[in-house]
């Protein structure tokens, strides 16, 4: 559904789309079209505590489905050119996600929340309908233009059919087991996610009757008994004619779902081959038809709730639960659209499913997650360009160090500098895996400790740990057996590591261990030195190529000591309550995050700029949510980059207008957890990375670790990363107050957000002009005119930072030389071939550098003076005494009016590092020099008025002469203090 910018009606917190697009306006996409679980309350009437706790405002299982809907849009309605096979891959991901969604959630929802179950069922049908329509009408016809096709058996010629018959006899027939359904054959165990065929057969009698002769005394001595499946026999009789029978055939999972036919781009589904050769399984019986179907079961394991005695082996308990997983209740039945209702009814009854649990597929393939192999076909024009990893500059000379025997080089680098690697920019093989190779093969290494959560199939990490143990290194590994849907793989790794000589633990009783930690102890010159790694993602060589994560390597004594203590908790008996630097859940992490948020609230109330940025995968923790609402109400700017579910609702009048929630989805899956707190009072912003989201399960039921990042250079790396995400209009979705998301280009989204907030603040009954009037262009509209009086106003504020010119020989009688003004570069400036500090870059027209004053949008509840001080600190890294208001400028910008207030700022302090130092350059110029560099007229006008305020032409000063004189005096006294 494509829509465009609209305003919120003043009486409801519901966002509604207009009926038409403005000419030349980029369309937006809203997802889902309607809230899956709408809230009937007016959110403005709720307190922060009520908002945070209300299950009507936030219903987690509905929020998860909305995430899958956003993923779907990457395949069905990409806003950027997305190659065909990549679109197909996104459709496959949706199917895989829905499989897990049903397995984890739908059984409980169906039993406890009937209205929600019905709404989710309807939403899933809409998702699958869009998915199937896109596949059938867009993807497959477009792939045919590249001669890539999914064939039907009818498309094959005689030679190809003969080849497929031979393939059936050689590769499929030995693996097939036909299962009939009658009183002597019980209903089979249908495995979750497996593909089956329901076969209708016609014949009066499948086996010849056995004629018994009582004359020979062959009567059975056993009394006649009812067949064990009498009720099943009656059920079949109710739905099938007497001469019809049903059989089931499981499509072998060991065989590829698609078979190539003559061409590596021509594929035939394996079930088509089986269907056309069913007569080999059912000889001398007429096969009427066969229909594919698929079952999903409630395979979620509640391992956290298992009570263990001291003598029980948790590994065996997990193995026993894995064995019973396929016998759990069915939650979904997917059938082909051609399957007759009588077969569907029979299946549904035997699986004990209700009609809402049956999903008819209109696509040519049931179970699109099996189509991943098609999405990986090597057609470069239909795939993303190959990803090229970058070698970290500090590792450039180390790339082949391990192979050449220099195993200590990695430790030398970490000893001198903290290292922060970013995946998939940097290769997992050249970073984390190199570190483990060094640890496994270096003769000085004495001990390795590591947590394994999801490390993938055939993991090189496990192989290196086993190698280290065989070399005599003391290797201790915590293998988390409760990792959802990876339990069987982790059971295998636990046994492999034990057999190799590693000490293996399975976690801490009652908790799931989710921390991403490595500890290496190495002997150096007779002294033991520790090296630790704190990561945001799993130690998985495969997912590191497609997940965005950070990995911090450090030898800082306090962090390494904390990691050592934490491993003692994991593997032994320890009830440690305090850590030096690490935030550890469930010990101190939530409380520390609440303290950090509260500090920003206190700073905002004291007049300091306050800001919080959080990137994580989900936010559900109630107290964190409540505190974020309180921060917004205090004037703290809160940016939440949340890929998945989020309890926080932005844009609620009087509560969360300072909160922005962004979900970014694209080629790579955002997986990092990064936290930023401005801490402006102390002038030392704080950054953290680690394994924990702000979800209840992470902060209460899991063992997690989050580490501060204290190196200033690495902090700049994280700052640039966060700002890139916040400005990503290509992959970013903005959350609306009702929990839905909207997507479009950055300018359109900016207008949308500003329009929503302005409409609520002003409570305008009519936000737009009547459609009968001709649109007014920006050139025609003037501030205060009738064309703009009904438009929402977006207020901005900034400042003109000045100080006395400290250069020697400066003329004191010329204002233009006596004072300096600080200019910053706009974020859109290009620096290729230009250094802003190079005088040639300031010569004027030939420069690609645009010089401006620090300015930006006011936050909700913030006045112009506070906003000007905050923007000066964030964009230019300066603070001081704010003088008078010297300029007000209004400009029509599409559907809003932008009003900018500029104040005179007497600079007293200049920071060497500031919020946007990674995005902008700054430089002091004399007033005369600045007049030749500034190109925007309203900024030139502000500069002229600043000169007047500093005393150049007192007669024309727009405000009190006393105030202006004291302003100039303040600047001079500031210079004397320096």
Indicate the SS3 state at residue 502: coil
Interacting residues of 381 by C-beta distance below 8 A, sequence separation 6+: 83, 146
Is a pLDDT exceeding 90 seen at residue 30? no
885 within 8 A of 903, measured Cβ to Cβ: yes
Does one domain contain both 190 and 288? yes
CA distance linking residue 372 with residue 202, whole number of Å: 37
Long-range contacts at 491-494 (CB < 8 A, ≥ 24 apart): 491/315, 491/318, 491/319, 491/322, 493/452, 493/455, 493/459, 493/462, 494/315
Q: How far is Cα of residue 715 from the mean position of the Cα atoms in its chain?
A: 22
Does one domain contain both 605 and 727? yes
Tokens of 750: 């900016």
**Is the bond leading into 702 cis (omega within 30 degrees of zero)?**
no
**Which residue has 């430790």 as its token pair?**
411
CA distance linking residue 356 with residue 562, whole number of Å: 51
**Span 797-842, pLDDT tens digits:** 999 999 988 766 655 567 767 889 999 998 655 443 344 444 444 4
Amino acid 401: pLDDT: 46
**Which residue has 């964030």 as its token pair?**
874
Could you list the beta-strand ranges (E) of 509-610. 512-513, 517-524, 527-535, 547-554, 583-585
Does one domain contain both 685 and 708? yes
**Which residue has 């303290």 as its token pair?**
595
**Which residue has 């759990």 as its token pair?**
328
Among 3-7, 436-440, 656-660, the range scoring the smallest mean pLDDT is 3-7
Question: Half-sphere exposure of 427 toward its Cβ, with a 13 Å CA cutoff?
Answer: 12
Average pLDDT taken over every residue of the chain: 79
**Span 547-603, pLDDT tens digits:** 999 999 999 999 999 999 999 988 877 677 889 999 999 999 999 999 999 999 999
% of the chain exceeding 70 in pLDDT: 76
Does one domain contain both 341 and 310? yes
Interacting residues of 648 by C-beta distance below 8 A, sequence separation 6+: 619, 625, 628, 629, 640, 656, 659, 661
3-class SS letters over 785-832: CCCCCCCCEEEEEEEEEEEECCCCCCCCCCHHHHEEEEEEECCCCCCC
Question: Half-sphere exposure of 906 toward its Cβ, with a 13 Å CA cutoff?
Answer: 20
Tokens of 355: 């009609």
Does one domain contain both 633 and 720? yes
483 within 8 A of 524, measured Cβ to Cβ: no
Q: Choose one of 520, 541, 571: the last residue of a domain.
A: 571
**Span 105-157, pLDDT tens digits:** 888 888 888 888 999 999 999 999 999 999 999 999 999 999 999 999 999 99
CA distance linking residue 872 with residue 656, whole number of Å: 24
Interacting residues of 821 by C-beta distance below 8 A, sequence separation 6+: 800, 801, 802, 924, 925, 926, 927, 930, 943, 946
Amino acid 760: pLDDT: 39
Number of domains within the chain: 4
Interacting residues of 710 by C-beta distance below 8 A, sequence separation 6+: 418, 556
Judge residue 212's burial from the number of C-beta atoms within 10 Å of its C-beta, 0-12 exposed, 13-18 middle, 19 or more buried. exposed
3-class SS letters over 728-776: CCCCEEEECCCCCEEECCHHHHHHHHHHHHHHHHHCCCCCCCCCCCCCC
Judge residue 708's burial from the number of C-beta atoms within 10 Å of its C-beta, 0-12 exposed, 13-18 middle, 19 or more buried. buried
Q: Choose one of 571, 594, 609: the last residue of a domain.
A: 571
Name which of 64, 53, 27, 50 is nearest 739 in CA terms.
64
Amino acid 95: pLDDT: 93
Residue 371 lies in a domain: no
CA distance linking residue 492 with residue 514, whole number of Å: 19
Q: What are phi and psi of 731, to 5 degrees?
A: -105, 0
> Which sign does the torsion angle of CA 235, 239, 241, 245 carry?
negative
Residue span of the structural domain in which 917 resides: 820-825+850-950
17 within 8 A of 34, measured Cβ to Cβ: no
Going by their DSSP bridges, the two strands 732-735 and 659-664 should be labelled as: antiparallel
Residue 661 lies in a domain: yes
**What's 294's domain CATH number?**
3.30.1840.10
Does one domain contain both 610 and 527? no
* Continuous H helices in 30-59: 48-53
Amino acid 550: pLDDT: 95
888 within 8 A of 784, measured Cβ to Cβ: no
Does one domain contain both 567 and 595? no
Q: What is the DSSP letter of 495?
A: H
Amino acid 132: pLDDT: 93
Q: What are phi and psi of 479, to 5 degrees?
A: -105, 115
Cα angle 122, 126, 130 (rounded to 5 degrees) comes to: 170
Highest mean pLDDT among 353-357, 519-523, 830-834, 913-917: 519-523
Interacting residues of 146 by C-beta distance below 8 A, sequence separation 6+: 84, 265, 379, 381, 382
Tokens of 364: 């040519």
Bridge partners, 615 (sequence order): 641, 674
Residue 627 lies in a domain: yes
Residue 910 lies in a domain: yes
Indicate the SS3 state at residue 244: strand
815 within 8 A of 951, measured Cβ to Cβ: yes
Q: Which of the residues 68, 392, 514, 671 is marked catalytic?
A: 514
CA distance linking residue 5 with residue 747, whole number of Å: 11
CA distance linking residue 757 with residue 768, whole number of Å: 15
Amino acid 121: pLDDT: 92
Is a pLDDT exceeding 70 seen at residue 100? yes
477 within 8 A of 450, measured Cβ to Cβ: yes
Q: What is the DSSP letter of 578?
A: -
**Span 617-655, pLDDT tens digits:** 999 999 999 999 999 999 999 999 999 999 999 989 889
Is a pLDDT exceeding 60 seen at residue 662? yes
Predicted confidence band of residue 843 (pLDDT cuts 50, 70, 90): very low
What H or E segment, with its residue span, contains residue 887? strand 878-893
Residue 514 a catalytic site member: yes
**Span 392-422, pLDDT tens digits:** 877 765 544 444 455 567 898 898 889 999 9
Residue 452 lies in a domain: yes
Q: How many residues in total does the chain contain? A: 978
Does one domain contain both 601 and 701? yes
Query: What region does 517 belong to: left with phi over 0, alpha with psi -120 to 50, or beta?
Result: beta
Tokens of 496: 């492999």
Name which of 283, 284, 294, 287 is nearest 250 in CA terms.
294
Going by their DSSP bridges, the two strands 179-180 and 244-250 should be labelled as: antiparallel
Which has more pLDDT, 781 or 516? 516
Helix 961-977 / helix 937-949 crossing angle, nearest 10 deg: 90
Does one domain contain both 543 and 596? no
What H or E segment, with its residue span, contains residue 479? strand 474-479
Residue 165 lies in a domain: yes
Bridge partners, 584 (sequence order): 705
**Span 163-195, pLDDT tens digits:** 999 999 999 999 998 887 766 566 777 888 889
**Span 746-789, pLDDT tens digits:** 455 555 555 444 443 443 333 333 333 333 332 333 334 434 44
Residue 263 lies in a domain: yes
Does one domain contain both 563 and 588? no
Name which of 379, 508, 387 is nearest 451 in CA terms.
508
CA distance linking residue 812 with residue 972, whole number of Å: 11
**What's 703's domain CATH number?**
3.30.870.10
Does one domain contain both 558 and 696? no
Going by their DSSP bridges, the two strands 659-664 and 637-642 should be labelled as: parallel
CA distance linking residue 18 with residue 27, whole number of Å: 11
Does one domain contain both 622 and 496? no
**What's 884's domain CATH number?**
3.90.79.10
Name which of 821, 816, 812, 804 is nearest 953 in CA terms.
816
Query: 927-958: b or e for each residue (b if 16 or more CB lie within 10 Å)?
Result: bebbeebbeeeebeebbbbbbbbbbbeeeebe
% of the chain exceeding 90 in pLDDT: 40
The torsion defined by the Cα of 331, 335, 339 and 343, in degrees rounded to 10, comes to: -20
Is a pLDDT exceeding 80 seen at residue 892? no
Residue 408 lies in a domain: yes
Task: Tell me the C-alpha to C-alpha distance, in Å, between residue 709 and each of 462, 595, 637, 687, 814.
Answer: 28, 18, 22, 5, 47
CA distance linking residue 311 with residue 588, whole number of Å: 31
Name which of 115, 123, 112, 25 is nearest 67 in CA terms.
123
Q: Choose one of 546, 571, 596: the last residue of a domain.
A: 571
794 within 8 A of 896, measured Cβ to Cβ: yes
Is a pLDDT exceeding 60 seen at residue 312? no
């Amino acid at each position: 559904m494509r829509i465009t910018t609209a305003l919120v009606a003043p009486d409801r917190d519901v966002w509604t789309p207009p009926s038409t697009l403005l000419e030349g306006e980029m369309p937006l996409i809203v997802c889902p079209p309607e809230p899956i679980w709408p809230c009937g309350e007016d959110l403005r009437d709720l307190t922060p505590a009520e908002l945070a706790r209300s299950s009507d405002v936030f219903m987690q299982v509905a929020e998860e489905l909305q995430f899958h809907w956003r993923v779907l849009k990457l395949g069905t309605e990409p806003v950027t050119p997305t190659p065909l096979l990549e679109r197909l891959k996104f459709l496959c991901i949706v199917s895989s996600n829905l499989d897990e969604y049903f397995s984890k959630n739908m059984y409980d929802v169906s039993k406890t929340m009937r209205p929600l179950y019905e709404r989710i069922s309807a939403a899933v049908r809409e998702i699958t309908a869009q998915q199937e329509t896109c596949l059938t009408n867009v993807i497959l016809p477009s792939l045919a233009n590249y001669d890539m096709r999914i064939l039907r058996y009818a498309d094959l010629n005689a030679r190809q059919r003969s080849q497929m018959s031979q393939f059936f006899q050689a590769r499929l027939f030995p693996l097939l087991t036909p299962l009939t359904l009658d009183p002597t054959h019980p209903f089979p165990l249908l495995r979750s996610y497996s593909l089956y065929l329901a076969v209708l057969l016609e014949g009066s009698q499948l086996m010849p009757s056995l004629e018994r002769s009582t004359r020979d005394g062959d009567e059975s001595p056993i009394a006649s008994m009812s067949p064990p499946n009498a009720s099943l026999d009656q059920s079949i009789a109710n739905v099938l004619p007497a001469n019809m029978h049903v059989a089931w055939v499981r499509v072998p999972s060991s065989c590829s779902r698609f078979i190539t036919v003559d061409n590596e781009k021509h594929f035939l589904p394996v079930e088509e081959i089986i269907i056309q050769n069913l007569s080999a399984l059912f000889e001398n019986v007429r096969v009427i038809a066969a229909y594919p179907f698929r079952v999903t079961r409630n395979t979620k394991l509640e391992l956290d709730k298992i009570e263990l005695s001291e003598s029980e082996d948790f590994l065996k308990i997990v193995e026993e639960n894995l064995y019973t997983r396929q016998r759990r209740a069915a939650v979904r039945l997917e059938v082909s659209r051609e399957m007759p209702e009588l077969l569907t009814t029979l299946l549904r009854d035997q699986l004990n499913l209700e009609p809402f649990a049956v999903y008819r597929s209109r696509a040519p393939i049931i179970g699109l997650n099996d189509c991943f192999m098609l999405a990986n076909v090597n057609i470069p024009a239909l795939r993303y360009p190959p990803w090229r990893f970058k070698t970290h500059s500090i590792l450039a000379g180390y790339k082949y160090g391990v192979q050449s025997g220099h195993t200590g080089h990695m430790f030398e680098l970490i000893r001198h500098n903290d290292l922060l690697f970013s995946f998939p920019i940097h290769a997992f093989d050249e970073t984390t895996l190199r570190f483990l190779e060094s640890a496994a093969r270096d003769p000085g290494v004495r001990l390795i400790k590591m947590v394994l959560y999801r490390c993938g199939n055939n993991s090189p990490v496990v192989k290196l740990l086993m190698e280290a143990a065989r070399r005599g290194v003391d290797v201790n590994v915590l293998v988390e057996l409760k990792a959802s849907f990876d339990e069987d793989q982790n059971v295998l790794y636990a046994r492999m590591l034990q057999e190799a000589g590693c000490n293996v633990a399975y976690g801490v009783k009652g908790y799931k261990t989710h921390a991403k930690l490595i500890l290496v102890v190495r002997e150096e010159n007779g002294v033991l030195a520790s090296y630790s790694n704190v990561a945001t993602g799993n130690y998985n060589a495969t997912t590191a190529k497609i997940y965005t994560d950070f990995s911090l390597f450090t030898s800082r004594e306090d962090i390494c000591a904390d990691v050592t203590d934490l491993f003692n908790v994991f593997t032994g008996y320890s009830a440690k309550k305090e850590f030096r630097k690490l935030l550890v859940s469930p010990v101190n992490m939530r409380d520390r995050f609440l303290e950090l948020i509260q500090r920003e609230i206190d700073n905002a109330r004291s007049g300091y700029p306050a800001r919080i940025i959080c990137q994580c995968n989900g936010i559900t923790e109630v107290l964190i949510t409540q505190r974020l609402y309180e921060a917004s109400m205090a004037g703290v700017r809160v940016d939440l980059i949340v890929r998945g579910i989020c309890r926080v609702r932005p844009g609620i009048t009087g509560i969360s207008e300072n909160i922005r929630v962004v979900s970014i989805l694209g080629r790579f899956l955002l997986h990092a957890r990064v936290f930023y707190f401005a801490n402006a009072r102390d002038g030392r912003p704080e950054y953290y990375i680690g394994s924990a989201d702000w979800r209840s399960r992470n902060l209460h039921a899991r063992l997690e670790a989050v580490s501060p990042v204290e190196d200033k250079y690495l902090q700049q790396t994280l700052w640039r990363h966060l700002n890139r995400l916040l400005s990503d209009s290509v992959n970013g979705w903005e959350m609306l107050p009702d929990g839905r998301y909207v997507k479009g280009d950055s300018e359109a989204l900016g207008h949308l957000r500003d329009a929503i907030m302005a409409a609520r603040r002003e409570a305008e009954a009519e936000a737009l002009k009547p459609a009968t009037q001709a649109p007014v262009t920006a050139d025609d509209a003037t501030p205060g005119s009738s064309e703009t009086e009904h438009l929402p106003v977006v207020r901005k504020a900034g400042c003109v930072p000045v100080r006395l010119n400290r250069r020697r020989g400066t003329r004191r009688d010329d204002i233009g030389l006596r004072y300096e003004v600080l200019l910053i570069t706009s974020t859109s400036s290009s620096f290729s071939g230009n250094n802003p500090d190079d005088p040639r870059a300031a010569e004027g027209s030939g420069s690609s550098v645009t010089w401006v004053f620090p300015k930006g949008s006011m936050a909700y509840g913030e006045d112009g003076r506070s906003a000007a001080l905050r923007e000066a600190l964030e964009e230019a890294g300066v603070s001081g005494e704010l003088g008078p208001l010297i300029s007000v400028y209004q400009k029509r910008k599409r559907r809003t009016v932008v009003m900018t207030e500029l104040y005179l700022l007497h600079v007293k302090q200049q920071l060497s590092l500031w919020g946007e130092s990674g995005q902008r350059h700054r430089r002091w110029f004399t007033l005369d020099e600045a007049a030749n560099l500034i190109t925007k007229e309203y900024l030139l006008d502000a500069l002229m008025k600043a000169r007047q305020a500093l005393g150049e032409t007192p007669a024309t000063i727009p405000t009190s002469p006393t105030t202006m004189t004291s302003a100039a005096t303040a600047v001079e006294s500031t210079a004397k203090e320096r």
